[in-house]
Structure 1
Amino acid sequence: MQLATLPNTATSAEVIASLEHSGGVIVSNFVSDDTLVGLERDLRPKLDSLAFGNDPYFSGTRTRRLGALFKHTRHAADIARQPHFRAAAEHYLRVEEHIYLGEDQVKTVPTMQIGVTQVIDIYPGEGKQPLHRDDSVWQWRHPHGGRQARVQVMVAVTDFTADNGGTLVIPGSHLWDDRRPPTIDEAVPTVMSAGSALIWLGGTYHAGGENRSATSRTGITMTLDLGYLRQEENHYLALTFDEVAALPDDIRRLLGYQACEPTCGWIEHEGVMRDPSFLFEDSDGTAEQVSMGTRSTAEPVA
């Protein structure tokens, strides 16, 4: 099985269909040329100033990594807002459930949040990572009632090839249970041009590839995760309050400054359980006035 490559004119339904089948799909021209240039301009100087990792097992010893991307570039928002990525995440994560509040059955739909933002720059001589599932950060079990915990993207800042460490993926492995181990002969390399992206599910086995070329391979990964799970990257400490306040409202919410139905993530203010978006109401006037202590955000089932 190989990964499909779809044009950026593909419909969201086509992207989701490929994810259903293979657990991963490549979208050509995922970001615009202006976004790609902006990402390179903003991130390369900082990235080049960092030391290599020192973990030969997972993080690598010939790889540079930079997180907290919303601190370093406004173009990170272009990735978070990309329509194919958002549509896939909405499809897999914002699945409604029904719960009882007393005798009333109500519908709840979880929010989604950004779990990880990271530039990964793999240099010549770096070996491949062990194959893994990224939803294992929560010890997610498979199958899990059909629910996914994460939808992830890897944007190619430079071309990805089989020789320079293009992300290895085992197509179809999102359907495996937890008793089946991954083997390297089942994995295929992600081959795509700069500006394209790999979208994959949290239950799909993958790994950074071995770089046997003469140049580095640079990619940006970002995840959209279920809103009630702990974020893998701690955005609350990585970004100052002022840095968060300067971001657009939808990005602030994705970074975790919103409550998730039915009652995860509220903050007490003057004795009332409130959605944390109210903290920014003076900065742009967009915060919802939600009092979670007096009105459920869940909707009654018809």
Structure 2
Amino acid sequence: MKPTLTRLSPSASVDEVCEVLERDGGLIIENLVDEATLKGLWEDLGPALDDWDYGDNDFAGHRTKRLSSLFARTRHAATIALLPQFLGAARRLIQRPVPVWMGGQRVELAPNVQISATQVIQIWPDEGAQWLHRDDMSHLRTYPSPISRVQLMLAMSDFTTENGATLVVPGSHTLGDEEPPAKDQAVPAEMTAGSCLIWLGGTYHGGGPNRSDGPRTGLTISMIAGNMRQEENQFLAVPVEKVRAYPEEVQRLLGYDTCPPFLGWYESADPHLVLQDKPAAAGDVTGGER
């Protein structure tokens, strides 16, 4: 029997989301984003998307538009990144401690999370299906593997089988490296505008073919472990003056933070100090080579 994607309500807890993600690798939360946020996203991103070009290769799509640098383009990106079920699940699943020895003592340290890639993806009529892939391929992860990436796709317009709803292979996050995904097990993430697909970096998925007479539009943000390189270079994508306008939590998610124990420091200090125009002080970050 063909698998299905579990659907949760917008009141679903982080515990519920994590349980389904660990079991199935993906799920849909219906009506998670309010109409005012959707309207704001369209107002901020729609004009640029209208002027954007299609992709130029089979993976990106020849009838697909991909608009990035979202935190530079709309403040509403922060609303999506901070959705409790999304950010909460990312933190719960990624921030798992590992043992290390420091100062002759065994301690457990966990990575934090950071924003990796942001895009609006608009699939137009006559686009074919995208290759099924794992987003973890960006970091050349081998499987089985600990969870290091959690991703969200917000339906900015309705997602249907006909217009290119994202295809997901439930359970494929458990496959080994030499086990290809079964195409006949891929199911379309059909959902109404405002609903969200959330999936793990190890889950096989891909954009569906658009056989309708209009485009489908989705907005995606990924979270990864803080000790991994961001897929989209947020330091280039978002000018520092725009970063300063965000709350501190978002600033740190964009990369102005250190990952335990001290990865990502600037002048041996917390890089967030750069946004505060404060000089780095000795001892602001534990550690360092000598």
Question: Partner residue of 1:8?
Answer: 10
Cα distance, 1:296 vs. partner?
Answer: 5.4
Question: Partner residue of 1:300?
Answer: none
Deviates more, 1:195-204 or 1:174-183: 174-183
Task: Return the alpha-carbon distance in structure 1 between the equivalents of residues 201 and 263 of structure 2.
Answer: 22
Q: Is 1:60 matched with 2:52?
A: no
Q: 2:283 aligns with which of 286, 291, 298?
A: 291
Count, aligned residues: 286
Task: Return the alpha-carbon distance in structure 1 between the equivalents of residues 184 and 170 of structure 2.
Answer: 12
Q: Secondary structure at the match of 1:19?
A: helix
What fraction of aligned residue pairs are identical, expressed as a percent? Answer: 46
AA of the residue aligned to 1:256: G
Question: Partner residue of 1:218?
Answer: 217
CA RMSD of aligned residues (A): 1.8
Question: Partner residue of 2:114?
Answer: 113
Cα distance, 1:175 vs. partner?
Answer: 0.9
Task: Return the alpha-carbon distance in structure 2 between the equivalents of residues 164 and 289 of structure 1.
Answer: 54
Question: Partner residue of 1:274?
Answer: 269
Task: Return the alpha-carbon distance in structure 2 between the equivalents of residues 36 and 290 of structure 1.
Answer: 45
Question: Partner residue of 2:98?
Answer: 97
Q: What is the CA deviation profile of residues 212-262 of structure 1, one whole-angstrom value per residue up to 9, with x for unaligned ones? A: 001100000000100010000011111222122222211111011101011
Task: Return the alpha-carbon distance in structure 1 between the equivalents of residues 192 and 280 of structure 2.
Answer: 41
Q: Secondary structure at the match of 1:8?
A: coil
Deviates more, 1:192-201 or 1:95-104: 95-104
Question: Partner residue of 2:162?
Answer: 163
Question: Partner residue of 1:88?
Answer: 89
Question: Partner residue of 1:48?
Answer: 50
Q: Which sections of structure 2, spanning at least 5 residues, go unmatched?
A: none
AA of the residue aligned to 1:20: E
Question: Partner residue of 2:27?
Answer: 25
Question: Partner residue of 2:205?
Answer: 206
Q: Secondary structure at the match of 2:126?
A: coil
Q: Which sections of structure 1, spanning at least 5 residues, go unmatched?
A: 298-302
Question: Partner residue of 2:129?
Answer: 128
For the 8 Å contact 1:169–1:187, the answer to whether it is kept is yes
AA of the residue aligned to 1:76: A
Question: Partner residue of 2:80?
Answer: 79
Task: Return the alpha-carbon distance in structure 1 between the equivalents of residues 281 and 87 of structure 2.
Answer: 25
Question: Partner residue of 1:260?
Answer: 259
AA of the residue aligned to 1:150: R
Task: Return the alpha-carbon distance in structure 1 between the equivalents of residues 20 and 134 of structure 2.
Answer: 18
Q: What is the CA deviation profile of residues 187-217 of structure 1, one whole-angstrom value per residue up to 9, with x for unaligned ones? A: 0000000000000000000000000001100
> For residues 277 and 128 of structure 1, do their structure 2 counterparts lie closer, same or farther at Cα, with a shift above 3 Å needed?
same
Query: Structure 1 length normalisation: TM-score?
Result: 0.91
For the 8 Å contact 2:159–2:189, the answer to whether it is kept is yes
Task: Return the alpha-carbon distance in structure 1 between the equivalents of residues 82 and 280 of structure 2.
Answer: 21
Cα distance, 1:292 vs. partner?
Answer: 4.7
Q: Secondary structure at the match of 1:126?
A: coil
For the 8 Å contact 1:266–1:274, the answer to whether it is kept is yes
Q: Secondary structure at the match of 2:272?
A: helix
Cα distance, 1:183 vs. partner?
Answer: 2.9
Question: Partner residue of 1:34?
Answer: 36
> For residues 166 and 289 of structure 1, do their structure 2 counterparts lie closer, same or farther at Cα, with a shift above 3 Å needed?
farther
Q: What is the CA deviation profile of residues 55-111 of structure 1, one whole-angstrom value per residue up to 9, with x for unaligned ones? A: 1x2000101111010111110001110010011101111111221113122221211
Task: Return the alpha-carbon distance in structure 2 between the equivalents of residues 290 and 252 of structure 1.
Answer: 22
AA of the residue aligned to 1:279: V
For the 8 Å contact 1:278–1:289, the answer to whether it is kept is no
**Runs of 4+ off more than 2 Å:** 287-293
AA of the residue aligned to 1:168: L
For the 8 Å contact 1:67–1:117, the answer to whether it is kept is yes
For the 8 Å contact 1:171–1:187, the answer to whether it is kept is yes
Task: Return the alpha-carbon distance in structure 2 between the equivalents of residues 274 and 6 of structure 1.
Answer: 42
AA of the residue aligned to 2:43: R
Query: Structure 2 length normalisation: TM-score?
Result: 0.95
